[in-house]
Amino acid sequence: MFVPLKGSWALIFGVSSGMGKETARALADAGCNIIGVHFDLAEGQQQAERYARALGELGVEAHFFNRNVAARQARAELVPVIRDLTSGVGPRVVLHSVAYGTLTSLLPAPGGAEDEAPAVTPQQLTMTVDVMGHSLVYWVQDLVKAALLPRGAKVFAMTSAGGTRVLPGYAPVSAAKATLEAHVRHLAVELAPQGVAVNAIRAGTTITPALRKIPGSEKLIAHCQEINPGGRLTRTEDVADAIVTLSSTDSSWLTGNVIGVDGGEALVV
């Protein structure tokens, strides 16, 4: 059954950029209050604060926190804040849209000097999978423990085609996305009795600050522009719209999926 989002709360990890930022706006447009977590240096933090004020002007509450989403301390500090802001109910929408990882290959570049294009290090692999993959689990654990994931809540995690395919320089992030998708399936099953749906959103190639950081992204952009059957790249608005739509129901039956929001891009070669 359709249930309006007005007056409910969304918890968005990665709210200062790309998909998280746009989805915050779309949810706020639908009357949903926003608790946003982001991790930025001073310059980015000021921009995020301005964005939170702009969301507030849409007539909702918007509270942003500049914290490392993967840090235990951040969860310890913010879970009580989430409880207070949502009056003990918890968020109806949780979005994990965290882009912080090492972009490199698994092996040193052939012919390149070892120090120019070195192989990925254990530190880099561990950090990337922890931030972009495991952090979803730890947040869900703490929200469940605090009884802040109510029946009807929707959890979304942003993945990409790179979770199952190979892009040069994307290897650690690819591992993180594959991990994230596995976590989504297991969380979906474990949370099914509580009526909480968990899905991954596999966006098509979308021009975001995170995409720009991928080595060779211009080539990927040009290629996807050409092959996308919809005749254009995916936009952050496409993803935001999908999340608002999927969140506007009290049904928890759509769960455990990797949902493509890409205009059919992944279906064509």
Partner 1 sequence: MPDNQTADVNLEELRALIAEELELPLEEVTDQADLKNDLDVDSLTAMEVAVQLEKKYRIKIDEEEIASLTTLEIIHQLVAAKVEKT
Residues tagged active-site: 170, 177
Of the candidate residues 2, 43, 193, 226, the single one contacting partner 1 (CB under 8 A)? 43
Least separation, in Å, of the C-beta of 136 and partner 1?
16
Segment 144-203, which members bind partner 1 (CB under 8 A)? none
Of the candidate residues 109, 117, 118, 124, the single one contacting partner 1 (CB under 8 A)? 124
* Nearer to partner 1 (CB atom), residue 73 or residue 87: 73
- Write the CA distances from 156 to 26, 80, 82, 90, integer angstroms: 15, 22, 18, 15
Q: Is 68 in the site for partner 1 (CB under 8 A)?
A: yes
Q: Measured at the alpha carbon of residue 79, what is the angle toward residues 23 and 257, in degrees to the nearest 5?
A: 45
Binding mask 20-39 for partner 1 (x = CB under 8 A): -------------------x
- For residue 102, count other CB atoms closer than 10 A to its CB: 17
> Exposed, middle or buried, 193 (CB in 10 Å: 0-12/13-18/19+)?
exposed
Of the candidate residues 58, 109, 117, 127, the single one contacting partner 1 (CB under 8 A)? 127
Of the candidate residues 1, 2, 41, 114, the single one contacting partner 1 (CB under 8 A)? 41
Binding mask 79-118 for partner 1 (x = CB under 8 A): ---------------------x-x----------------
First to last CA, the chain: 37
Binding site for partner 1 (CB under 8 A): 39-43, 66, 68, 70-71, 100, 102, 123-124, 126-127, 131
